[in-house]
Structure 1
Amino acid sequence: MIPFDAVLSDLDGVLRHFDHAAQADIEARYGLPLMKTALDPELILPPTLGHVSEAQWLESIAVALGGDERVRRAVAEFAQVRFWVDEEVRALLARVQQHVPVIIVTNAMDTLEQHLDLLGLTHFADDVVSSARVGVAKPDRRIYEIAAERAGAAPERCLFVDDRLRNVEAARELGMTGLHYRTYQDLAAVLG
């Protein structure tokens, strides 16, 4: 028996993973702080809120790092780093979905739907709350409210799962049960 009326799960770091070794290799080969630059709040927030496209974000990274041809090659390689679905997490969430809605809640860009398609997740979740589509990003309380509304569940009856503690704490402030995800066992222990 699932002790929640809905499960709200982050995508990246929970269900989808990137090849961090490949990212580090690209940074080392080019001698560029790609990840730090890519995640700079001034650069990452506009595409996450749907104000600019992923392509414009990649261009902003290139410009921030000097914009020459070598930098552009590095950014292009970085953008193509492999990602995959954690099949154990997918299977667990699919079992949960037989009892309660599973909603993906993600800070994403305009390419999210393409990525979900590549991952075979287009029709997986009962709904997807993408920051780029709703115009608010975690940890803004409104994105959690939207997710609970779409699930048809009161916030205090939702489990929220994220690999970023700050996002989990924001969900807890709204009354949700929050799980700071680090391993599959963390999730399995809560969901059985």
Structure 2
Amino acid sequence: MAGAGGQKPVVGRVTHLMVDIDGVVVIGRPADGAHWKTGLEADLGISAADLKQHFFQPFWAQIVTGQLPLRPTLAGALAKCAPHLDATRLIGYWFSHDARLDRAVLGHLAAARARGLKAYFATNQDHERARYLWQELGLARHGDGMIHSARLGVAKPDPGFFEGAARITGAGPAQHLLIDDSAANVSAAHAAGWQALHWTAQALWPG
């Protein structure tokens, strides 16, 4: 099994595939794969730059680790930078426009599970989007569980994410194989004793 850059995880010891979501399983807008913010200003009247300045930069690190709730925090930010827009509408737009599934990746997961491997989604998400991805987008049909950062109280690449995830699966560190599009997360997984594959357009699915 080999991936980008000649990576060669030790397949024989792996029992749990730990798959990132954004950039691996979910790849942009359903219509065209573009980033969900591509038409944001034209559609909702708020620029991506303003949303970053007033919401993502000051609050996202706390939201994605479960320290702040998504909806009221976003509502407070919008009251300052886009008072015409309510949080429910923006969240609905965001979630539905960041929901294109990579069917090839899901097919690989199905094949791996048929061979007896466990497949978990290991992802940095707030509680609301994690529920959306699992229930409404249907990832529950494609994995054995989801381990998200807000649940653990810590986000990748923090070592605590990998420690917490392993506690949930009950498997030893080297039995986990992380597939992630972030090189920093891959490095952190290796440091935690996991197998890890940096997912890129040129990467080969482990098999």
Q: Is the 8 A contact 1:179 1:187 kept in 2?
A: no
| RMSD between aligned residues | 2.8
In the alignment, structure 1 segments of 5+ residues that lack a partner are none
Q: 1:44 aligns with which of 60, 64, 87?
A: 60
Q: Counterpart in 2 of 1:23?
A: 37
Q: Is the 8 A contact 1:138 1:167 kept in 2?
A: yes
Q: Is the 8 A contact 1:26 1:74 kept in 2?
A: no
The correspondence of residues 18-167 of structure 1 with structure 2, limited to 5 A, is 18-19=28-29, 20-27=34-41, 30=45, 32=47, 33=49, 36-37=52-53, 38-40=55-57, 42-63=58-79, 66-69=81-84, 75=90, 78-82=93-97, 83-98=99-114, 99-111=116-128, 112-167=130-185
Tell me the matched-pair count: 187
- What TM-score comes out, normalization by structure 2 length? 0.76
| Aligned amino acid, residue 140 of structure 1 | D
Q: Counterpart in 2 of 1:182?
A: 200
Q: Is the 8 A contact 1:11 1:104 kept in 2?
A: yes
Deviation at 1:10, TM superposition (A): 0.9
| Aligned amino acid, residue 199 of structure 2 | Y
Q: Is the 8 A contact 1:49 1:134 kept in 2?
A: yes
Which shifted more, 89-98 or 149-158?
149-158
Residues 100-145 of structure 1: CA distance to partner in whole angstroms, max 9, x if unpaired?
A: 2111111111211233212211243222111112211111112112
Deviation at 1:75, TM superposition (A): 4.3
- What TM-score comes out, normalization by structure 1 length? 0.81
In the alignment, structure 2 segments of 5+ residues that lack a partner are 2-10
Q: 2:190 aligns with which of 172, 179, 182?
A: 172
Deviation at 1:8, TM superposition (A): 0.9
Aligned in 2, Cα 1:80/1:97: closer, same or farther, shift over 3 Å?
A: closer
Identity of counterpart residues, as a percentage? 26
Q: Is the 8 A contact 2:71 2:87 kept in 1?
A: no
Q: Counterpart of 1:24 in 2: which secondary structure?
A: coil
Q: Counterpart of 1:115 in 2: which secondary structure?
A: helix
Matches of 1:73 and 1:94 in 2, distance apart?
Answer: 34
Aligned in 2, Cα 1:70/1:121: closer, same or farther, shift over 3 Å?
A: closer
| Aligned amino acid, residue 28 of structure 2 | F
Matches of 2:170 and 2:92 in 1, distance apart?
Answer: 41
Q: Counterpart in 1 of 2:17?
A: 7
